[in-house]
Homo-oligomer: A and B are copies of this chain.
């Protein structure tokens, strides 16, 4: 049976998302089963930037949808963001080293068969519709997350 890695993605930040997706891609390349469970701010990683809707949402949900990052390239750094300056610097350094972008790692994970789960409670509270998320994302409960995590050799909270 394959080894399993389960990453709970709580943070909606560019650098932590990079770390998570590099691990996810590497795990799949090594033949591991990899699960990403997106909850709270982590859901920002799996919003489809072209599918924002305001329909059938409360006013707070509409505002929340508009002021939060839409799509991974829009995520801030967890530190040294400096109104985007630090992030620009990191992106330049990544480009200099010909490192793939966060979008590349995200698309790599989608193509390689990483499992994408969204947290039911978070999606409901934040008012996201399933059709606003990437098509790979399946909505599951905290219980389903734990059932998956308990059978994994590696679990991390990111």
Contacts and interface: CB of A to CB of B under 8 A. Distances in A.
Interface of A: 3, 5, 8, 10-13, 15-16, 18-19, 22-23, 26-27, 29-30, 32, 39-41, 58, 60-61, 63-64, 67-68, 78-80, 89-90, 92-94, 96-97, 99, 121, 124-127, 141-143, 146-147, 149-150, 153-158
Nearest to A67: B80
Contacts of A15: 10, 40-41
A142 B23 contact: yes
A58 B90 CA distance: 12
Closest 3 CB pairs of A and B: A156-B157, A26-B142, A150-B153
B40 A125 contact: no
Given A154-B149, A156-B155, A61 B125 contact: no
A97 B79 contact: no
B10 A19 contact: yes
Contact of A125 (B30, B78, B94, B143): B94
Given A32-B146, A156-B8, A93 B23 contact: no
A3 B125 contact: no
Given A60-B93, A97-B125, 4 more contacts: A10-B158, A99-B121, A155-B156, A156-B156
Interface centre among A3, A78, A147 (most CB of B within 10 A): A78
